[in-house]
Amino acid sequence: MALATHHRSSSTSSLSSLRVVPLTELAETSQVTLSEKPRLINVTHQIPLACTIVDRTSPSSSLNHANGANSSGTPVNRRASLAVPRQCMSASSASHSQPFPQDCAQEGQHANGDCILEQRRGHSALYSGITSVSKDLETIQIGWVGEIADQDGYVVASKNLTESHKKALKDGLWQQEKVVPIFLEDSRAAGHYEGYCKGVLWPLFHYILWDEATDGREEKRNWDDYVFVNQKFADAIVEQYRTGDIIWIHDYHLLLVPHMLRQKLPGAAIGFFFHAPFPSSEIFRCLPKRVEILNGLLGSNQIGFQARRSITQTEKIAHLKNCCTRVNGYESTPRGVDAKGSTVWVGTFPIGIDAERVERQRKAPGVLPKMEAIRKLYTGKRIIVGRDKLDPVKGVQQKLQAFEKFLTNYPEMQGEVVLIQVTSPSLVENPKLEAKISEMVASINGTFGSLNFTPVHHYHQHIDRDEYYALLSIADIGLITSVRDGMNTTSLEYVMCQQENHGPLILSEFTGTAGSLGGALMVNPWDYQGVARVIYDAMQLTKEDTAARHKQLLDHVLAHTAQFWAKNFISELILNVGTWDQSAPTPYLDQTVIVEKYHSAKKRLLMFDYDGTLTPIRKTPSAAVPQEHMLKALTTLANDPANIVWVISGRDQKVLEEWLGGVENLGFSAEHGSFMRQPGSKKWVNLTESLDMGWKNDVIEIFTYYTERTQGSFIEHKRSSLTWHYRMADPEFGAFQAKECQNHLENAVLSKLPIEILVGKKNLEVRPTIINKGEIVKRLLNQHPDVEFILCAGDDKTDEDMFRALASAGNQGHNNRHDSSHRHHHQAGAILEPYNDVLVAETAAKIAQAALEHSFEYAPIVPPPTSGGVPPVRPRNSLKQTASANSASTEASLASLSSQASLSTPVLNDYFSITIGHAMKKTLANWHVTSPEELIRVMGILAGTVEA
């Protein structure tokens, strides 16, 4: 059974032709479909296996000479993950399927003829979690192949890889692990990773701003490489994707991939996990490509983060939501981000380690001898262990300064405690940091050391696995002082290795695991005095205290493994897309259908909103002046004697007359239905004349209170309503104040007065309850019962009243019409039956409820035309709809409406309610266009001022 259904289809035309959505816009999302047994397509920057090419042509490979072996044979570009060059290589000419000699293969390696595969160093928790999911779901791994070495350990340039090499790698990777490699040119890979990822994104996400001023050319090249590589990944995923699969993308290297995928796979289930920290909006806004990065990320259905402790465990979630609100203007919800109708779920999923693998490896035969050697070397000393990568955010400098403060403050510990610090080289070299750390180590050793004692033992190198686990096992204290870290699995591995020793763990509160490891001793790495004190306190803990703390830590590590993390994320993704909290897609306006219906009708009613419909939304309301080509189309439509054209706006009379008064035969409704002016007349009719406006004083008082406290907000006074605008205020604070103001109004005013609040685009409007745009639509329908074509266009929540009135009329006519084939305009008459207020109210309530609960899951029913025209679109369950429509009695009709409301709103195919916005926007309209310009073009086509 499918967990979700396909989005409903819509007719295509030149208006709805596929276009490439730029990164400055959101890609369109449709209803997600999952198969009964979906495959998992896992996407990481690099594949989990390191690859070695075996050249069987000669003992001295031509690949070596092409890649930097100097005259003396010194490896000048040896791959960092290879500690020694390959010495045992088969020289025979064999096929790709010939196995590699077993006596040469090390643990974790797979031989496959001309290529050798071994587990890549690092990210073991990530790959272990992914591997565990493969027990339940078929898993495909996609990633960059990374640096490829030859049999001597030299890196092979991408230009020297032949097609046969690539085929050998592809075949071997797919056969062994179902891995799909992506091959990149060296320049592209460097621009993507070293240029943009490590040069721009990584510092920003770790709260480090750039301090070098450039002319921007290098940044542009790196950005172009970043986009290019992300597109390569997206293309590779699309090639492997089958309908119903799950796509899981990892980390900041691939932030644009969700957006690129969404354009080609609008119904795919896409999850994204962010392994790095996410900065506050004040930091993120410094990124020049901030809009593009966020839109790329929001192509996902679900975004996952590590838990953090520094403020709350949802700090990263709050930062992402704030950025989406402040930078891109999207609304946030308690569960995620409302990206133009699509809910992107955001949650925390603390990653763990593969506890079984660590337990097995720490008990390997080679670990115990190394433990004995280390104990013998440091007999009688208390050992503090630190293991970090050479990165500024890992806090190695802070650790050394705190240790120096510890030796200074507690002189009795001098000669009794040693710090063993292993600093593994990073992929991008940092010689300044390396020199600084070396200077600090020399300074501490020179101050507190002697001929027979060295307090700090610093090893700037990779160490093998047995040495690593031996070091963690014999440590008396584990010390981690990261200043900003998305995840730190060393702390978890330390807990696993301390099951006999129970050594305490000192952990920076800025690491990704800090929020989960409550049994650790938390420190602020910038507080050297505090860290020194905690080191001393840790040495004074009793065995009972250390055992209790370790039990708490171990219980968490064993319960929250990498396998738990992966399955938890995938389970949440399946649950969220299966209960998708968003509307089904509204079909894109079909140009062929609307033009056909327009020209075949003898009398037409056209109704338009103004702001956001006939003109784009402007920050300053006075700047939304009409455009010349729009006025030309509107004038031509209004001058057609077969047309009745109205502008139904929230603007006041003065503005409408000033901007649109020159259009003859145009009807106006101002202030959301408070005033009307018939076409060809100069007289305004006040529909609120008999209403008591005394409520304004109370509302003005509340609006003034929030205006004084919200910079950039202002009050717009209208004759029958009041509007509080906050479009020019800070987006986040303005939205917060609007909610507070709305709550204030609901509690203080709405409960005792006949008024209502309209939540618009960056504004709150208060008006009498009985006044809205829908009432104007009802009046016009009653005044012109013989129209054969209706077009109604709007863009915001106030226009939903118009769509609701049309939908209600369509429902009533659909359920009460009889077979009157002799009538020339049978369908129009069906829409416009005389109003029964009770039935209309009940119908509207049911439609509104259905819209809230499921937001049009199915396509609208289109009855067959009386003569000619385009064939109707028949959605699913249309037989049920037709059967309900044939019910004769009022009671049966109401029951029919109730059953239909949960499916779709029946619509006649000469009725076009058009919303401006995204296809997934929650709306009662039956068509959509994405911008005012597209609607104006349709108007021009209908009027004949624009060629189709």
> Measured at the alpha carbon of residue 480, what is the angle toward residues 476 and 484, in degrees to the nearest 5?
175
**Catalytic member of 225, 354, 466, 609:** 609
Q: HSE on the CB side for 930, CA within 13 Å? A: 16
3-class SS string, 433-481: HHHHHHHHHHHHHHHHCECCECCEEEECCCCCHHHHHHHHHHCCEEEEC
**Percent helix, strand and coil across the chain, each to the nearest 5:** 40, 15, 40
- The token pair that represents 638 in the structure block: 């209004």
Contact predicate 726/738, CB 8 Å: yes
Burial class (CB in 10 A: 0-12, 13-18, 19+), 456: buried
Q: Tell me the three state secondary structure of residue 876.
A: coil
Q: Tell me the three state secondary structure of residue 628.
A: helix
Distance CA 900, CA 848 (A): 12
Q: Tell me the three state secondary structure of residue 837.
A: helix
Distance CA 403, CA 567 (A): 40
* 842-881: b (≥16 Cβ within 10 Å) or e: bbbebbbebbeeebbbbbbbbbebeeeeeeebebebbeeb
> Measured at the alpha carbon of residue 380, what is the angle toward residues 379 and 382, in degrees to the nearest 5?
105
> Measured at the alpha carbon of residue 308, what is the angle toward residues 568 and 475, in degrees to the nearest 5?
95
* 50-75: b (≥16 Cβ within 10 Å) or e: bbbbbbeeeeebebbeebebeeeeeb
- Segment (H or E) for 610: none
**In which order are the strands placed within the sheet that holds 763-768?**
714-717, 722-725, 763-768, 755-760
Q: Tell me the three state secondary structure of residue 655.
A: helix
Find where tokens 């009398």 sit. Answer: 603
One-letter amino acid at 431 equals P
Burial class (CB in 10 A: 0-12, 13-18, 19+), 658: exposed
Distance CA 425, CA 437 (A): 13
Contact predicate 253/192, CB 8 Å: yes
For this structure, is 251 an active site residue? no
- The token pair that represents 691 in the structure block: 């209403």
Distance CA 933, CA 916 (A): 10
- The token pair that represents 311 in the structure block: 């403020």
Distance CA 297, CA 319 (A): 14
Residues ≥6 apart with Cβ < 8 Å to 470: 367, 368, 370, 371, 373, 374
CA nearest neighbour of 387 among 423, 437, 427, 419: 423
DSSP-H helix ranges across 661-799: 695-709, 731-745, 773-783
Find where tokens 């062994």 sit. Answer: 176
Distance CA 395, CA 404 (A): 14
- The token pair that represents 755 in the structure block: 């008024």
Distance CA 573, CA 349 (A): 12
Which one-letter DSSP state was computed for residue 519?
A: T
> Measured at the alpha carbon of residue 525, what is the angle toward residues 421 and 438, in degrees to the nearest 5?
35
Find where tokens 């926007």 sit. Answer: 921
The residues annotated with a catalytic role in the active site are 609
